[in-house]
Structure 1
Amino acid sequence: MASPEYLAAHGTPGSLAEIESHCGILYANRNADWRFGSPGNWTVIRPRAALRVNNGVVMRDTAVAGLGISLLPTFFVHYQLVDGALTRIDIGVEAEGAELFIAYPRERSASAKVLALIESLRRSFGDPPYWDRASDQSPSRNTRPPFEA
């Protein structure tokens, strides 16, 4: 993702190789590698670091400010994509995903509280989650989740 202003000034990358030459807003607590999958293999790129931070919201906001390209989960940038503050960059391959796990002791089944949490998250986010649906199905800005600033 990048701001329209950044892309107007620096061009829109059309390939993995072109992304490497752009300024990246990188997550400091992880390797600077961005992994992209294609049938049968993974490609790793290392964009030039414009900024390294350890907070996804700061990464999003600096991308909106036009400092570079950021690779973030859609739940961090959903509203900025809808508003046009950020633009999705399509290079024809998908970035490596991440998963969220809910852990509980292996020797016991999930407690009623854990099951209630799982069900609440499923109802709140939807299937697919609201941030991955088309913008015409997105909740209004007035219904932001409580954890979003």
Structure 2
Amino acid sequence: MDRFETMRLFVRIVERRSFTLAASDLDLPRSTATQAIKRLETRLGVRLLQRTTRHVSPTLDGEAYHRRCVAILADIEDAEAAFVDARPTGMLRVDMHGTLARTFVLPALPEFLARYPGLRVHLGEGDRWVDLVREGVDCVLRVGDLHDSSMVGRRLAMLEEVTCASPDYLARHGTPQSLADLDGHVAIGFLSTATGSIIPLEFMEAGGLRQVTLPSVVSVAGAETNTALARLGLGLTQVPRYHVAADLAAGRLVEVLPDLPPRPSPVSLLYPQSRQLSPRVRVFIDWVSETFRARAGDGVRMS
């Protein structure tokens, strides 16, 4: 293992807080990783890592060396990426919501892998907040406003949102024709992953954006459950149009107040500020931007 490979290993251990996870990420035996760091510490004459049975953390010298390694490795990746024939290789770890992945990303993924045969892709699925550095994730694809200042975000597209409910719910509560008609209605409470609070319904009208908080019988944190409960007639909900396009077409859900739509939701790709944009992430951003652009008009607006 040469010096640059050892630097990459050391940086990964600091990020993952684990020899085992870092070795797995880099396709190395754990024993190889352990011996490489021992040789590195011997060569430098300092202890870089504090080790316990459950946790690995950098010493003060380790933190200083980590900062230098990140800068050096970023310069190397930039230099290599400057050549036309340089092709990204290795494992790309991406996290995204499952419905977003199945609708926009997965159908085009074979083309991406054919274009970059040196890449392998791990797709994580969920709505939860992800610690990209600690969990070894390269980037995340998220829907909604960005609040985490530690991340660099690139907006890819805007998703049209729709207010809807089941025919059974509307038969029992009536179909509102104005915001005033929402009195007496209930909504499925969708919890924000950032605040833990129920997100109010939004309506764009001539006077600007109006937010309405309706009572909820049921509250949820998952988008799939939210839509399933709407089909069961448990309240009004607001979701991206693509998510319920089949339900609307089949009549399982009905659009409500179409002239007062919610704000469209941004789709963004995020990666840590502490990491230089790697060739793997760079080509994924370009490709996924193409993928959303190809779906423009299908409930998707380009930002």
Where on the TM-score scale, by shorter chain, does this alignment land: which range?
Answer: 0.7 to 0.9
Q: 1:3 aligns with which of 166, 175, 180?
A: 166
- Where do residues 22-41 of structure 1 align in structure 2 (5 Å cutoff)? 22-29=185-192, 30-41=197-208
Identity %: 26
Distance in 2 (alpha carbons) for counterparts of 1:20 and 1:57 = 26
**Could you list the runs of 5+ residues in structure 1 that have no partner in the other structure?**
134-149
What is the aligned counterpart of 1:18 among 181, 206, 221? 181
Tell me, what secondary structure is at the counterpart of 1:23? coil
Aligned residue number for residue 72 of structure 1: 239
Residue identity in the other structure for 1:13: P
Q: Give the residue type in structure 2 aligned to 1:94.
A: P
Q: Is the 8 A contact 1:36 1:43 kept in 2?
A: yes
- d(CA) in 2 for partners of 1:107 and 1:54? 29
Structure 1 position 109, deviation (Å): 6.7
Task: Please state which structure has a larger fraction of its residues in strand.
Answer: 2
- The reply on whether 1:45 has 2:208 as its aligned counterpart is no
Alignment TM-score, normalising by the size of structure 1:
0.73
Count of residues paired in the alignment: 132
Matched, 1:98 2:265: yes
The 1:107–1:77 alpha-carbon spacing in structure 2 relative to 1, beyond 3 Å, is same
SS at match of 1:121: helix
Q: Give the conservation status (yes or no) of the 8 Å contact 1:16–1:91.
A: no
Aligned counterpart, 1:127: 295
Structure 2, unmatched stretches of 5+, are 1-163
Q: Is the 8 A contact 1:20 1:45 kept in 2?
A: no
Q: TM-score, normalised by structure 2?
A: 0.39
Q: Which residue of 1 aligns with 2:39?
A: none
- By relative contact order (CA 8 Å, sep 6+), the higher-ranking structure is 1
Q: Is contact 1:13-1:91 (8 Å) kept?
A: no
| Aligned mates of 1:111, 1:38 — CA distance in 2 | 42
Q: What's the CA shift for 1:95?
A: 0.8
Q: CA offsets, 1:100-130, max 9 Å, x none?
A: 2212355877433223323443444433164
Distance (Å, rounded) in 2 between the aligned partners of 1:98 and 1:27: 15
How far apart are the structure 1 equivalents of 2:189 and 2:278? 37
CA contact 1:35–1:96 (8 Å) conserved in 2: yes
User: Cα 1:36–1:107, aligned 2, differ >3 Å: closer, same or farther?
Assistant: same
Alignment partner of 1:81 out of 224, 245, 248: 248
Contact residue 14 and residue 91 of structure 1 kept, 8 A:
no
